[in-house]
Amino acid sequence: MARSRTVHDGERTRDALIDAAAELFAEHGVDAVSVRSINKAAGVAPAAVHYHFGSRDGLLQAVLVRDGDAVLRRVAELARVLAARPTVPTARELVLCVARPYLELLQREPVRGRHWLRVVAQLTLSDDERLERTASEASALLLAQVRRRFGDGSDPVLRWALAVTTLVQMLGGPLAHDDDQVEALLNFVCGGLEAADRRRGRVAVVGD
């Protein structure tokens, strides 16, 4: 019985630390938050972060993985559907591969999901390698469909990365509560990808 209480206490402490870290990282920036402030916000012992996660980066990975695993599994599922179709995916279908899992998370966990998105947006914007540690096959599956639609080379990948960064940043804000604004955001991101693709097509024709 005592062992069961100890395990449950440890799980509660871990959850409290992840919750506190996600909120502080989202509000102040990942690298501006100290381990001491996380322990204090979680209401736990000063050594709790290091005991449960080893370091602040270990805790950051736990923040990313807690909701990120489900999001990435959903992205992979949607990308596989596109891969199985004989037709080339549209820009909107590609964007929805990312947007739908994010919006589903926000529906399940409005506050926690927004914190997670804001942390991901920070790391995406700075091209932080710590975000890559949580990547799974979802990234490769989706990128294969992006290249199928927009072609190989660094330019399509760069444009796609910019589109996803914009999407993540905006969904992490208050507009995710407004269906009309979400639709406007999707149209904006898709329009940018399609316009760049049209320009690429014109350059190719001229080059030929």
100-134: per-residue pLDDT in tens?
999 999 999 999 999 999 999 999 888 888 887 66
Mean pLDDT, residues 160-179 taken together: 83
CA distance 206 to 199: 11
What integer pLDDT is reported at residue 176 of this predicted model? 58
Which of the residue ranges 35-49, 65-79, 151-165 would you say has the lowest mean pLDDT?
151-165
Burial (Cβ within 10 Å: 0-12, 13-18, ≥19) of residue 51: middle
What integer pLDDT is reported at residue 144 of this predicted model? 94
Which CATH code of 1.10.357.10, 1.10.287.890, 1.10.3720.10, 3.40.50.620 fits the domain covering 2-207?
1.10.357.10
List strand residue ranges (DSSP E) for 65-207, in order.
none
pLDDT digits (tens, 9 = 90+) for 72-101: 999 999 999 999 999 999 999 999 999 999
Please, what is the average pLDDT of the chain? 87
What pTM did the predictor assign?
A: 0.85
What integer pLDDT is reported at residue 203 of this predicted model? 38
pLDDT at position 208 over 60: no
**What proportion of the chain, given as a percentage, has pLDDT over 90?**
64
pLDDT at position 204 over 80: no
Burial annotation 184-206 (CB, 10 A radius, 16+ → b, else e): ebbeebbebbeebbeebeeeeee
Q: What residues have CB less than 8 Å from 139, skipping those under 6 apart?
A: 72
Which pLDDT band holds residue 177 (cuts at 50, 70, 90)?
Answer: low
Which pLDDT band holds residue 173 (cuts at 50, 70, 90)?
Answer: confident
Which of the residue ranges 14-23, 52-61, 158-167 would you say has the lowest mean pLDDT?
158-167
